[in-house]
Amino acid sequence: MKVASSFPAISPADLIVATGVIEQGGVVAFPTETYYGLAVNPFSEAALTRLFEIKGRPCHKAVLVLVHDQEQLAQLVQEVPLSLRPLLKVFWPGPLTLVFPARPELSLLLTGGTGTVGVRVSSHPVAALLLSSLRIPITATSANISGQTPATTAAQVEAQFGTDVDFILDGGETPGGKGSTLVGCGADGGCLLLRDGVIPFSRIKDVVVMD
């Protein structure tokens, strides 16, 4: 396993290697605005299977996905519910994961069999560079073996996974703390808090009311 040079000196060569690894079914660790994440091609069943194996993650637990921009949503979701649309405009890029009705062809490993998929646009510059170098979304499950503390540095990723991760984009230390806030739609069509996170739900409700 190779560890890329520290951010901000992420070189074009680093990105070429990282994108190549993902395109060939491998696993890349990269920084986000909360923790390091593990990126694989979300449309590859083999890559998803390997991701679950190295994390020791139960197969019923869904995996969050990053997109480069809102246009990429169509690759993952059937529709964008009305109640979530103002949140995309205000909080993306940023630590808000929105849960949408998933396209039926998505892997059950990605959706956890829920029929939904959680998506966000990352505000971290390295994550944005990685996504801009690809034409597909990437997974963004936290870089940790299930039950252990998520990694906030490249060194912590390497300590937990060793050679199980094929490449690490070292973006320095990430903030850690709370993860992204997770919001979906309730039975009434309104916004529903699924997981507390960086963005307080009170701010989210204010945006929905103001729209």
Superfamily of domain covering 2-210: DHBP synthase (3.90.870.10)
The answer to whether 79 and 100 are in contact (CB under 8 A) is yes
Residue 6: predicted pLDDT: 43
Length of the chain, please? 211
Which H/E stretch holds residue 15?
Answer: helix 12-23
User: Would you write out the chain's pLDDT as a tens digit for each of its 211 residues?
Assistant: 554 544 445 788 999 999 999 999 999 999 999 999 999 999 999 999 999 999 999 999 999 999 998 889 999 999 999 999 999 999 999 999 999 999 999 999 999 999 999 999 999 999 999 999 998 999 999 999 999 999 999 999 999 999 999 999 999 999 999 989 999 998 888 899 999 999 999 999 999 866 5
* 108 burial type by CB count under 10 A (0-12 exposed, 13-18 middle, 19+ buried): middle
Domain boundaries of the chain, sorted by first residue:
2-210
pTM metric for this prediction = 0.92
Burial 18-30 (b: 16+ CB within 10 A, else e): bbebbeebbbbbb
Q: How far apart are CA 199 and CA 103, in angstroms?
A: 27
Q: How far apart are CA 30 and CA 114, in angstroms?
A: 26
The 8-class DSSP code of residue 19 comes to H
Residue 7: predicted pLDDT: 46
